[in-house]
């Protein structure tokens, strides 16, 4: 028996279908769900923060966590069924933006991002002291949280997401345009590997290929 509600199954099914690597990480799945609800809250006022708990690595929808970790096979099947049945209910712009963010930051960076939200910060002292199952309240989602959401919408515009692909090298996430991704060579990948080890970079790292075939790191 699963305890995740229909909305969370639907959204989990979307991620399973469209971003399998992110879906395979329980932390990234949780961040995807939280960001989608945060975008929904600001954009339409309709969000579902029910059964949201505060943990040291950020907000967690506890039924999803339990179902995913204890009944993974059934969760996978039910989530995909929910998506195939009700895919029209998913806001594609929000889902793609949330997916792009969770796929272009490290897990530590994703935790740091969600720690900035007041909905988590309001209970942070209790959470970080080791208290378990701390309930997070939608009433604590305030104007500061809305500003974070608006900032993320500006940082990750829909057209950029639509025309970009991400290459992961270790803990670094390089973003290329789909046009440039076709030009990548083994030499380019070797350079990215060296860059990821030698330089202090902040994800996501935007890269272009110039007319001479050189990598230009932003």
pLDDT band at 218 (very low <50, low <70, confident <90, very high): confident
* Per-residue model confidence (pLDDT) at position 117: 98
* Per-residue model confidence (pLDDT) at position 23: 98
Distance CA 166, CA 85 (A): 29
* Per-residue model confidence (pLDDT) at position 35: 98
Q: CB 199: neighbour CB atoms within 10 A? A: 10
Instruction: Give the mean pLDDT of 133-138.
Output: 97
Distance CA 124, CA 97 (A): 26
* Per-residue model confidence (pLDDT) at position 39: 98
pLDDT in tens, 72-118: 999 999 999 999 999 999 999 999 999 999 999 999 999 999 999 99
Kindly list the domain boundaries of the chain, sorted by start residue. Answer: 6-156, 163-217
Chain mean pLDDT for the chain: 96
Answer whether residue 63 shows pLDDT above 70: yes
pLDDT in tens, 156-207: 999 999 999 999 998 999 999 999 999 999 999 999 999 888 768 899 999 9
pTM: 0.96
* Per-residue model confidence (pLDDT) at position 199: 67
* Per-residue model confidence (pLDDT) at position 92: 98
Of 202, 200, 204, 205, nearest to 217 (Cα)? Answer: 205
Instruction: Give the mean pLDDT of 122-130.
Output: 98
Answer whether residue 19 shows pLDDT above 90: yes
Q: How far is CA 16 from CA 79, 184, 189, 197, 207, in A?
A: 8, 27, 27, 30, 27
Distance CA 114, CA 121 (A): 9
């Amino acid at each position: 028996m699963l305890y995740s509600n229909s909305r969370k199954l639907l959204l989990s099914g979307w991620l399973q279908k469209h971003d399998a690597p992110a879906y395979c990480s329980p932390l990234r799945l949780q961040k995807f769900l939280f960001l989608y609800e945060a975008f929904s809250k600001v954009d339409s006022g309709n969000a579902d923060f029910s059964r949201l708990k505060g943990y040291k690595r950020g907000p967690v929808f506890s039924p999803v966590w339990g179902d995913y970790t204890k009944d993974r096979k059934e969760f996978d099947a039910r989530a995909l069924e929910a998506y195939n049945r009700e895919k029209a209910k998913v806001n594609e712009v929000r889902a793609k933006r949330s997916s792009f963010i969770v796929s272009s930051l490290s897990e530590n960076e994703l935790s740091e991002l969600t720690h900035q939200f007041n909905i988590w910060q309001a209970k942070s002292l209790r959470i970080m002291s080791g208290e378990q199952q701390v309930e997070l309240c939608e009433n604590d989602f305030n104007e500061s949280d809305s500003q974070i959401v608006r900032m993320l919408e500006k940082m990750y515009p829909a057209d950029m997401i639509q025309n970009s692909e991400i290459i992961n090298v270790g803990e670094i996430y390089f973003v290329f345009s789909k046009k440039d991704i076709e030009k990548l060579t083994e030499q380019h990948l070797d350079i990215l590997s060296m860059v990821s080890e030698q330089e202090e970079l902040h994800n996501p790292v935007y890269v272009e290929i110039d007319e001479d075939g050189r990598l230009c790191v932003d």
